[in-house]
Amino acid sequence: MSKIHNFSRLLVAFQNTPSIDIDFVKQELNLSTASAYRYLSSLEEIGFLEKKSTSNYILGPLIIELDRIIRENDPLIQAASRQMTELAYHLDEAVVVLARLYGHRVLCVHQVKGIHSRLNISYERGKAMTLFRGATSKAVLAWLSESRIEELYMLVRDDPFFQQKYPGLDRLKTDLQEIRKHKTCMTYSEIDPGVYGIASPIFQGQKLIGSLSIVIPESRMTQLNIKKINDQIYRLSLQISARLESQPH
């Protein structure tokens, strides 16, 4: 098995656990104790891992450095950051979220909080979320192909929340058709209690990339023009999509 393959398997493992130990590496990569220690030591040396204890390792400082590079160079963030900052300035109790389609989930890649926002929402940078709950996610789900939606439905159909909201695939498809019709998705308390989410998809040409969304506390929504915010989110998502398309390939 190649070193690249071994490395990728360890990367994937950190999606489900904050640390790995020598026994896990031996079993996962089929290595002897001595080989596992050498492999972990080499990853520690380059900064990918850091020792938590004698035989336990966490992600190291290299990951933080790489994250900074991503923040500065991600085309999606570059295309959206200015609009997000302006929107958060005008709706200063809200949180503006930029998410990227990531396999069968969405991943928050950037977040801007209004200066008076007290919200601590679940969509935080680096956290992957289900496609079936919340406006940020469902604005993406609605534009997937029908076959892909059916495939993803099979993964979540036994979830209690999903069963209650979508007892059948037809009900889900009807809701997604409405989202496509209106170009935006609005939800209430599907992820975090007491907040509204409004989102619209982002494309690069014909390719679905992710979504732009705004999360607003319930207490603030009564003072706002909901249609105006929906139109604004849709317009901004179009601008971001156009900027992505115009970037050098």
What tokens does 16 get?
């489900």
Return the SS3 of 222: coil
Return the SS3 of 201: strand
* Ordered strands of the 185-188 beta sheet: 128-130, 105-113, 95-102, 207-217, 195-204, 185-188
User: What's the mean pLDDT in 90-119?
Assistant: 96
Report residue 222's pLDDT band, with 50, 70 and 90 as the boundaries: confident
- pLDDT given at position 200: 98
- pLDDT given at position 1: 52
Q: Closest by alpha carbon to 77, among 104, 99, 102?
A: 99
In the chain, what are the domains? 3-65 (1.10.10.10), 74-246 (3.30.450.40)
Residue 248 pLDDT greater than 80, yes or no: no
Report residue 155's pLDDT band, with 50, 70 and 90 as the boundaries: confident
Residue 76 pLDDT greater than 60, yes or no: yes
Residue 151 pLDDT greater than 90, yes or no: yes
- pLDDT given at position 247: 78
Residue 66 pLDDT greater than 70, yes or no: yes
**CA 158 and chain centroid, separation:** 22
Say how far apart CA 30 and CA 44 lie, in whole Å: 19
User: What's the mean pLDDT in 174-199?
Assistant: 96
User: What's the mean pLDDT in 217-237?
Assistant: 93
Of the listed ranges 18-22, 64-68, 144-148, 167-171, the one predicted with least confidence: 167-171
* Placement of tokens 């709950």 in the chain: 133
Bigger pLDDT: 165 vs 33 = 33
User: What's the mean pLDDT in 213-234?
Assistant: 93
User: What's the mean pLDDT in 98-113?
Assistant: 96
Report residue 94's pLDDT band, with 50, 70 and 90 as the boundaries: very high
pLDDT in tens, 41-52: 999 999 999 999
Report residue 187's pLDDT band, with 50, 70 and 90 as the boundaries: very high
